[in-house]
Chains A and B, each alone.
Chain A
Amino acid sequence: MSTTDLTRGDPPARVPFYNNPKVRSLAYQFALCVVIVLLVWGAASNAIDHLRRAHIASGFGFWNTTAGFDISQTLISYSAQASTYGRAFWVGLLNTLLVAGLGIVFATIIGFVVGLSRLSKNWLLAKVAGGYVETIRNLPLLLQLLFWYNAVLKALPEIRDSLTIGGAVYLNNRGLFLPKPSALSGFGWVEIAFFVGLVLSIVFTIWARRRQERSGAQTPVLWVTLGLVVGLPVIALLATGVPVLFESPQAGRFNISGGIEVLPEFAALLFGLSIYTAAFIAEVVRAGITSVSRGQVEAAYSLGLRPRPTLRLIVVPQAMRVIIPPLTNQYLNLVKNSTLAVAIGYPDLVQVFTGTVLNQTGQAVEVVAITMLVYLTISLATSVAMNVYNSRMTLVER
């Protein structure tokens, strides 16, 4: 046998072009693109046709049209007669961000407490925390919101039978009314003290870190910065003789005027979102802590670390690496779930914009597109930030 046999053999059978994987792949992709283009084109032409027959304007001209409806909670100035749909959009967006921001804070606190409780050596506490997580996670959020709103907050007394604390705080089925603080002259000193405290605490943190890197000595950074940021303004407040005027709400027979008003819709949404998301955060925290292997703790003990420093220096830093990505996911879910506000009438972005504005203008495509764009921006920005974080935190292995 010689090599000539191999080289002289029959030429390889020619593969027909339709069996060539490259040609096939190109053909499939071309077909997919054609189908999608046809679908989009068909949908667009149908939509244009429908809108023209229904005499609905298209484009974003409505943005500067006067809105003509009221919003029950506005963080920026807004009036039905003078403000535009664009203004209403910003009011709704700010309301969404307010409830989501506060919800994230409360959900994180409750979630960490419950998650750590589930790992507690105290049997009763662990079981109760487990019961909380299992119950809350298995009930729809909408049901919980309706319960808080209709069965709890709407069942509070009428205005004339309000619960009150010394005529300064009122609680009834129209909401919670708190005294409204307003600054008098001299309050500027408190603000100055706050900024001085902030700058000093940043300087102190940097100094403490350098010192630890140099000598290994630790300083109680948390307490000192807290003292600077909170303590200095309090001292300034007392030194200037508390230049704050509290305007108490005035109770009438049928309504309460003045003061800060916390809507029951807002309270119900905040309760519901915090309690619901906390149950998921608790599971994230538990998974993060159990992911730190037992050997890490034992090694820390054998080096002579006491339980508390072990937790702070060994367990928590390693657990946080596991906890943070799913935690941000839960925060995103909370922001998305805040759209359920529409069911109980809290004026968030969806209720104001996709609800009222859409009904008034009829411009479904534009309104829904803008709303989706807002949530999409929040989601994508968060996931980009998460990817950066993950690439920085990935363990570099040999």
Chain B
Amino acid sequence: MSMSDEGELAIANMGFVRREQLPPQPPPRRMTGPIGWVRENLLSTPLNIVLTILVALLLAWVIPEIVNFLFIDAVWTGMDRDACREVVQHREIGACWPFVWERLPYFIYGSYPGPERWRVDVFFALLAVAVVWTLWLGAPRRDIGMVYAFVLMPVASFILLHGFEVIGLPVVDTVLWGGVLVTIVVASVGIVASLPLGILLALGRRSHMPAVRLFSTIFIEFVRGVPLVTVLFMASVMLPLFVPDNFEPDKLLRALIGIALFASAYMAEVVRAGLQAIPKGQFEGAMAVGLTYWQRMRLIILPQALKTTIPNIVNNYVALFKDTTLVFIVGIFDLLRTIEVARIDPKWAAPVTSTTGYAVAAIFYLVFCYGMSRYARAVETRLAQSDRR
């Protein structure tokens, strides 16, 4: 036996040296899987345990209340208020759905005459096309879509909704319009009018001409400094004084003017923020290739500025959509007002009627506003991807 063999043997006999790697052990059961997740995210410190219990108790109280009200205790059929009154039915009463079902046409069309309501349906369809065409980033020919949404659709909708005797559409007075129709009309007019006006005001505020800059700034700061309610009051009580008698705008038009002016001042600030983010070199480069002011803005500056502000523009539209409810205060029958009128109708007067009506309005606004803000966030993510490269 040589020396080396002896050494080899010595190593082989030492029990504590392993020749092969052990398979990895699974992590402790308490730190992984659902249990680990709960320990990590719900029960990590004594304070967190207390908070988790409190929040869980809160949820255990609120969620069953809502589910009971909307579904389990809700009344699904009935002819009048007696179906929805505890004193008559001798049970816990939740939402009064037959009331909503009967008043649904009123909530959607207001007092728009029955035989003409197809015109409102066509308007909703035209609007849906415009929304999809302009918002879906993969849609074909979005330039035509823009022209359609901002020029053709408004004109066609006005003829359709208001009426045009020559082509056989009887005129429907705007006093009869109401419900979702008015809410959508006010919101779309605000949206369609505020973008171009806002862009003009924003450009005006950054103009090199002192007079243009002064007037734009005064307008923007004035409108942003006062509440929408007072703008609407101004439009509804002062506007008729300022225009000649034969031009007197009707009630809805006055509110629309108020909303459009208000929205464009806010839009101007959003666009201005986008313009400020454009590097100076872009302006100078555009000038150097000999473009005129409007060519520079249309071809170089605005496409870049508007692209980065799309999320802010959409968020602004969410705020505008919520603000349309304020036309209620100057006596216009938007969705909220029709609900207010319907809920105090003696035929359906019951303790749960108000809450049912507000639940319907809440679902409507939640769906639209949440949809819009989701869209804004999706666009933001997509733009962030293009910038990351």
Taking beta carbons and an 8 Å cutoff, which residues of A are in contact with B? 25, 28-29, 32-33, 36, 42-43, 46-47, 50-51, 120-125, 128, 134-135, 137-143, 146-147, 150-151, 154-155, 336-337, 339-340, 342-343, 350, 354, 358, 364-365, 368, 371-372, 375-376, 379-380
Contacts and interface: CB of A to CB of B under 8 A. Distances in A.
A130 to B, nearest CB: 12
Contacts of B336: 140, 142-143, 146
A138 B369 contact: yes
A382 B233 CA distance: 24
A32 B362 contact: no
Interface in B309-355: 318, 322-323, 325-326, 328-329, 336, 340, 343, 351, 354-355
A340 B340 contact: no
A114 to B, nearest CB: 12
Interface stretch (B4-12, B52-60, B107-115): B52-60
Interface centre among B211, B340, B343, B355 (most CB of A within 10 A): B211
B365 A138 contact: yes
B362 A25 contact: no
A143 B41 CA distance: 35
Contact of B52 (A46, A125, A146, A336): A125
B277 interface: no
10 contacts: A29-B212, A32-B212, A122-B42, A140-B365, A142-B328, A155-B351, A340-B329, A368-B234, A379-B225, A380-B221
Given A122-B51, A143-B325, 6 more contacts: A32-B211, A42-B242, A138-B318, A147-B362, A340-B329, A371-B233
B366 A135 contact: yes
Nearest to A50: B241
A128 to B, nearest CB: 5
B387 to A, nearest CB: 19
Contact of B209 (A29, A42, A50): A29
Contact of B358 (A50, A147, A376): A147
B14 interface: no
B325 A140 contact: yes
Given A28-B212, A47-B241, A155-B351, A372 B224 contact: no
B229 A340 contact: yes
B55 A143 contact: no
B244 A46 contact: yes
Taking residues whose C-beta sits less than 8 angstroms from the other chain, chain B's interface range is: 35 or more
Interface in B48-93: 48, 51-52, 55-56, 58-59
Contacts of A47: 238, 241-242
The 5 A-B residue pairs with the shortest CB-CB distance in the complex, in nearest-first order? A379-B225, A138-B369, A43-B242, A29-B211, A123-B41
Q: Main SS of chain B's interface residues?
A: helix
B329 A150 contact: no
B339 to A, nearest CB: 9
A140 B52 contact: no
B227 interface: yes
A364 B41 contact: no
Interface of B: 41-42, 44, 48, 51-52, 55-56, 58-59, 208-212, 215, 221-222, 224-230, 233-234, 237-238, 240-244, 318, 322-323, 325-326, 328-329, 336, 340, 343, 351, 354-355, 358, 361-362, 365-366, 369-370, 373
A121 B40 CA distance: 8
Contact of A33 (B211, B227, B355): B211
B209 A25 contact: yes
B121 to A, nearest CB: 25
A364 B238 contact: yes
B241 A46 contact: yes
B226 A365 contact: no
Interface centre among B208, B210, B224, B358 (most CB of A within 10 A): B358
Contacts of A339: 227-230
Contacts of A28: 209, 212
A337 B215 contact: no
Interface centre among B215, B233, B326, B369 (most CB of A within 10 A): B233
Nearest to A54: B241
Nearest to A25: B209
B235 to A, nearest CB: 10
Contacts of B224: 379
Contact of A380 (B42, B225, B233): B225
Nearest to A138: B369
B113 to A, nearest CB: 28
Nearest to A35: B215
A375 B225 contact: yes
A71 to B, nearest CB: 19
A358 to B, nearest CB: 7
Contact of B230 (A36, A120, A371): A371
A354 B369 CA distance: 30
Contacts of B44: 121-122
Contact of A125 (B55, B215, B229, B234): B55
Nearest to A365: B238
B370 A138 contact: yes
A32 B214 CA distance: 11
B329 A343 contact: yes
A59 to B, nearest CB: 15
Contacts of A142: 325-326, 328, 336
B384 to A, nearest CB: 15
A121 B241 contact: no
A183 B44 CA distance: 50
A125 B208 CA distance: 51
Contact of B365 (A25, A143, A155): A143
B337 to A, nearest CB: 10
Contacts of B362: 139, 143, 147
A342 B229 CA distance: 9
A372 B226 contact: yes
A364 B233 CA distance: 9
Contact of A375 (B52, B211, B226): B226
Contact of A121 (B41, B56, B373): B41
A33 B229 CA distance: 29
A36 B242 contact: no
B248 to A, nearest CB: 10
A337 B58 CA distance: 29
B226 A122 contact: no
B358 A146 contact: yes
Contact of B222 (A146, A151, A154, A376): A376
Given A142-B326, A350-B229, A128 B241 contact: no
Given A29-B209, A146-B358, A336-B227, A354 B41 contact: no
Nearest to A47: B241
A42 B244 CA distance: 9
A269 B244 CA distance: 39
